[in-house]
A and B are shown apart, each in its own frame.
Chain A
Amino acid sequence: EVQLVESGGDLVQPGGSLRLSCAASGFTFSSNWMHWVRQAPGKGLVWVSRINSDGSRTDYADSVKGRFTISRDNARNTLYLQMNSLRAEDTAVYYCARDAPVVTLDYWGQGTLVTVSS
C-alpha cells in the first residue's frame, strides 16, 4: 500500500526556517518524481515544487523560488522541503504527492501544517 507521511510542520516566526519531510513507503520511491502542494486555510490547492526521480532536476513556483529548496534521499525513501525566509503568506497545510506516469499526482500524504506568525 502506498503511504506518504509528512512531518515537520510547526509555528515559526516570519523570517524563520523550517524543514518538512515526507516519508514514503509501499512503492519504489526512487522511480517517481515527487511534488509539494500547499493549501492556505480555507483556500484552494497551489502547486509549490517538484523533483525528478534522482534529484537532479527541480522546479518551483515563483512565489517560493529562491526561498524553498526541494530535495530527496532515495536511500531513506524521504522527500524534503527546506523553507527559508518564511512569510505569513506561506501559512498552509503542505502536502507531498507522488507523480506516476499517466495518472500524475495519484497519492497524497495527510499534510503538515506550517504557521508563520509572530
Chain B
Amino acid sequence: QSVLTQPPSASGTPGQRVTISCSGSSSNIGSHYVYWYQQLPGTAPKLLIYRNNQRPSGVPDRFSGSKSGTSASLAISGLRSEDEADYYCAAWDDSLSGPYVFGTGTKVIVL
C-alpha cells in the first residue's frame, strides 16, 4: 500500500553516520516536498524534517534531509543509542494514491 519505498533496516555503531533512502515518483517526491518522521518504540510519530531539509525547533542538527529528483534521503550523523527507532518519509501525492503518502519505513538499529 505504501507508495514510497525505503530499505527495511539500517544500522550503525555509536558515532557513525547512517543514511536512509526514500524512492518515489513524479507525482509525489518529484513534485512535492518531502517530510520525515521518527517513531520511537511504542510512541506516536514525531516530525523530524519538513520541506526536504528543514528541522523543527528542538530537532538536533545531527539529522539532515535532502532531495534529488524523485528520491530523498535522511542522514543521521553522530549516531546515538536514542536514535534507535523507525523512520518514515512522506510526501503529498497528485495521483490516486494521495493526497498524502508515507514510505514503507526503516528501522534504524544502533549496534
What is A's interface to B at a CB cutoff of 8 Å?
A: 35, 37, 44-47, 50, 59, 62-63, 95, 102-111
Instruction: Give the 8 A-B residue pairs with the shortest CB-CB distance, closest first.
Output: A44-B105, A108-B44, A45-B102, A47-B100, A103-B50, A106-B47, A110-B44, A108-B45
| Cβ–Cβ < 8 Å partners of B39 in chain A | 45
CB of B79 within 8 A of chain A? no
Interface size class of B (residues with CB under 8 A): 20 to 34
| Cβ–Cβ < 8 Å partners of B99 in chain A | 47, 50, 59
21 A-B pairs whose Cβ atoms sit less than 8 Å apart in the complex: A35-B100, A37-B45, A44-B2, A44-B88, A44-B104, A44-B105, A45-B88, A45-B102, A46-B102, A47-B99, A47-B100, A47-B101, A59-B99, A95-B45, A102-B50, A103-B50, A105-B35, A105-B37, A105-B47, A105-B100, A106-B47
Bound CA–CA A50/B100 (angstroms): 10
CB of B1 within 8 A of chain A? yes
Interface string of B59-96 (1 = CB under 8 A from A): 00000000000000000000000000000101010001
| Cβ–Cβ < 8 Å partners of B100 in chain A | 35, 47, 50, 104-105
Find B46's partner among A35, A59, A108 (CB 8 Å cutoff).
A108
Known: A45-B37, A45-B88, A46-B1. A103 touches B102 (CB 8 A): no
| Cβ–Cβ < 8 Å partners of B2 in chain A | 44, 46
The chain B residue with its CB closest to the CB of A43 is B105
| Cβ–Cβ < 8 Å partners of A105 in chain B | 35, 37, 47, 90, 100
Q: Which residues between 11 and 50 of chain B lie within 8 Å of chain A, taking CB atoms?
A: 33, 35, 37, 39, 43-47, 50
